[in-house]
Amino acid sequence: MARRSSRQMVQSKSATESKSHILEKGVSAAVNGIKAVVNASKAEVNERKNPKRKATHTEPHVDGEDLDSIDPTEDKEREEEGDQLQGTKKPAAKRRKTASKKDAENNMPLAARTAITSLKRAMYIGAHVSGAGGVQNAIQNASNIGANAFALFLKSQRKWVSPPLADECKTQFHAMLKQHSYDSRKHILPHGSYLVNLAQADAEKATQAYDSFLDDLQRCEALGITLYNFHPGSTGGASMESACARIAAQLNRAHKATESVVTLLENMCGSGNVVGSRFEDLRDIIALVDDKSRVGVCLDTCHAFAAGYDLRSPEAFAETMAEFDRVVGTEYLRALHLNDSKAPFGSHRDLHANIGTGFLGLRAFHNIMNHEALQGLPMVLETPIDEKGPDGKTVENKQIWADEIKLLESLIGMDVESDGFREKEEALQAKGATERQKIQEQVDKKAEKDAKKEAKGKKKSKKKKDEDTCDSCSEND
């Protein structure tokens, strides 16, 4: 177990509460499981009602928005942030009410921050928090969940054009940074817009994407933030090689137009047109970036696993890290997104699960938390926190993040053979069992369908002659 700092002792009430909350969670797993099933079946109904959206689950959006990678939680947050940052269609009174309710929630500390010096390894763990009402609010939100690192959106994720960063927000951001002593050069990791696709081949759309991207980088510099994470993009049907070249060219332009911000490519999990599912894509982009000190990688554990990079056993984890080093280079690894996966290994589906409840499981995170080379990097949870409130409405339960941060910190130096670890591992796996089974069935069904399609195609092509090679190979590659 992690040793506790004196600061934590003083504030230990909320910490203890959060600890007991973790235990309670095991007990209430069955209840939550049922809730999850209800939510999941609702989502399925919605998917069926909206086949267009479902279609995008395998193919990225034409504008580069890989809808597959969008977590419903993020979706909601993005809309909220959009409304509040952009001026909104909501009536003013309602807006005020929402804002004041939000303010109250924002000021609720759910867990104390763990002093990094009290940990056996310097792991800076946090979550992607909301910056609704102004980027400065993200700092309080991060502090409230006991985060030592955090991510945020710098502007609305729904719109191409946003009002400039207000001086007041900037001043408050710097003041809050000081007050909460976060190092903006190391442990704050803004997330890029999902609308932006730097691989865009269409000249007009490429300009739109670049302008929005550059605007984000300029916001980073105004806020004193060094790291910036974004999804590489989509080929749009063009070759992977040309897509990587376009991304690198845009990065070179953006680096010249700014001074210090380091752009981090996120590894992805989709197949086909998605850029970044293979470490080789990341390598090929980096190879074409002129200033290597301005580019790096943010490794998303869920994406890596779903893309076919195993992290579960110590051996598999070591092999994946070794492969990253061989292909990309460990020196480029600058940040992590910590997410478990609701979808099985190599399924190419992007479904974030709460830590320990997914197919990755607690052992994968034990491997990560005890890997020396990852010390000092920002590690950001993007796990689901939506729950059904007493009135049946979906509400965000930020206590989940507060607990996950403490859980991850507790894995540092923990013995995986200990009863404490095994009990936690079992309880969390039980909690996610229904959801894992559901997604496994979906994946199996799709594989069956694909196999049938492939068999049919083979028959046809055999009739034709043997001139065509199997086209599903490129999909699985």
Nearest approach, Cβ of 108 to Zn ion (angstroms)? 26
Q: In the complex, what is the shortest distance from the CB of residue 71 to Zn ion, in angstroms, rounded to a whole number?
A: 9
Residues 216 and 229: beta-carbon distance below 8 Å: no
CB of 300 to Zn ion, least distance (A): 4
Tell me whether residue 22 or residue 298 sits nearer to Zn ion (CB atom): 298
For this structure, is 348 an active site residue?
A: no
Q: How far is the CB of 32 from Zn ion (least distance, A)?
A: 23
**Annotated catalytic residue 128:** no
- Of the ranges 23-31, 104-112, 332-340, 456-464, which one interacts with Zn ion (CB under 5 A)? 332-340
> Of 78-86, 114-122, 284-292, 337-345, which segment contacts Zn ion by CB under 5 A?
337-345
The footprint of Zn ion on residues 291-320 (CB under 5 A) is 300
Q: In terms of CB distance, is 189 or 414 closer to Zn ion?
A: 189
Nearer to Zn ion, 70 or 222 (CB): 70
Q: What is the SS3 assignment for 297?
A: strand
CB of 134 or CB of 276, closer to Zn ion: 276
- Catalytic annotation present for 366: no
**Where are the alpha helices (H) located in 28-115, listed in sequence order?**
29-49, 51-55, 72-86, 92-106
The correct pick among 337, 398, 431, 436 for binding Zn ion (CB under 5 A) is: 337
Least spacing, CB of residue 129 vs Zn ion, in Å = 14
Catalytic pick among 63, 71, 74, 382: 382
Stretch that binds Zn ion, among 116-124, 143-151, 179-187, 336-344 (CB under 5 A): 336-344
Q: Which two tokens stand for residue 103?
A: 């303010």
Is 332 among the residues known to form the active site? no
How many residues bind to Zn ion according to rule CB under 5 A? 2
| Residue 467 among the catalytic residues | no
Q: Is 160 exposed, middle or buried (0-12, 13-18, 19+ CB in 10 A)?
A: middle
Sign of CA dihedral 300, 305, 309, 311: positive
Active-site residue flag, 231: yes
Contact 212, 193 (CB under 8 A): yes
Which helix (H) or strand (E) segment holds residue 22: the answer is helix 12-27
Q: Which of 266, 284, 404, 409 is catalytic?
A: 266
User: Could you give the count of Cα atoms lying within 13 Å of 295 in the half-sphere of its Cβ?
Assistant: 25
Q: Which of 158, 174, 253, 371 is catalytic?
A: 158
User: Please, which residues have CB within 8 angstroms of residue 377's CB and are 6 or more apart in sequence?
Assistant: 124, 333, 334, 335, 336
The active-site residue out of 21, 337, 348, 436 is: 337
| Binding region for Zn ion (CB under 5 A) out of 4-12, 179-187, 318-326, 331-339 | 331-339
Handedness of CA 152, 157, 159, 161 (dihedral sign): positive
The span from the CA of 301 to the CA of 169, in Å, is 32
Q: Which residues contact 48 (CB under 8 A, 6 or more apart)?
A: 54
Q: Which CA distances in Å does 287 have to 113, 232, 281, 329, 332?
A: 39, 14, 10, 11, 12
Q: Given 61, 65, 113, 194, which residue is catalytic?
A: 194
Q: Give min distance, CB of 378 to Zn ion, in A.
A: 12
For position 65 contacting Zn ion by CB under 5 A, the verdict is no
**Active-site residue, 266 included:** yes
C-beta of 69 vs 250, nearer to Zn ion: 69
Between residues 337 and 342, which has the closer beta carbon with respect to Zn ion? 337
Asked about 187 being catalytic, the answer comes back as no
Point out the catalytic residue in the list 71, 74, 77, 300.
Answer: 300
Closest residue to Zn ion using C-beta atoms: 337
Nearest residue (CB) to Zn ion, 208 versus 263: 263
Question: In the complex, what is the shortest distance from the CB of residue 64 to Zn ion, in angstroms, rounded to a whole number?
Answer: 16
Nearer to Zn ion, 128 or 246 (CB): 128
Do 18 and 399 contact (CB within 8 A), yes or no?
A: yes
The CB density around residue 113, as the number of other CB atoms within 10 Å, is 23
Neighbours of 287 (CB within 10 A): 12
Contacts of Zn ion in 141-170 (CB under 5 A): none
Tell the smallest beta-carbon distance from residue 307 to Zn ion (Å). 12
Shortest Å, Cβ 227 to Zn ion: 14
Other C-beta atoms closer than 10 Å to the C-beta of 460 total 10
Report the residue number, 312 or 337, with the smaller CB distance to Zn ion.
337
What is the C-alpha to C-alpha distance for residues 62 and 197, in angstroms, rounded to an integer? 9
Provide the β-strand partners of residue 228: 263
Is 350 tagged catalytic?
yes
DSSP 369-402: HT-GGGTTSEEEE----EEE-TTS-EEE-THHHH
* Residue 113 a catalytic site member: no
Asked about 180 being catalytic, the answer comes back as: no
Tell me which of 21, 113, 231, 349 is the catalytic residue: 231
Q: How far is CA 348 from the centre of its chain?
A: 15
Extract the tokens encoding 62: 């034409």
- Can you give the binding site for Zn ion, defined by CB under 5 A? 300, 337
Enumerate the active-site residues.
158, 191, 194, 231, 266, 300, 303, 337, 350, 352, 382
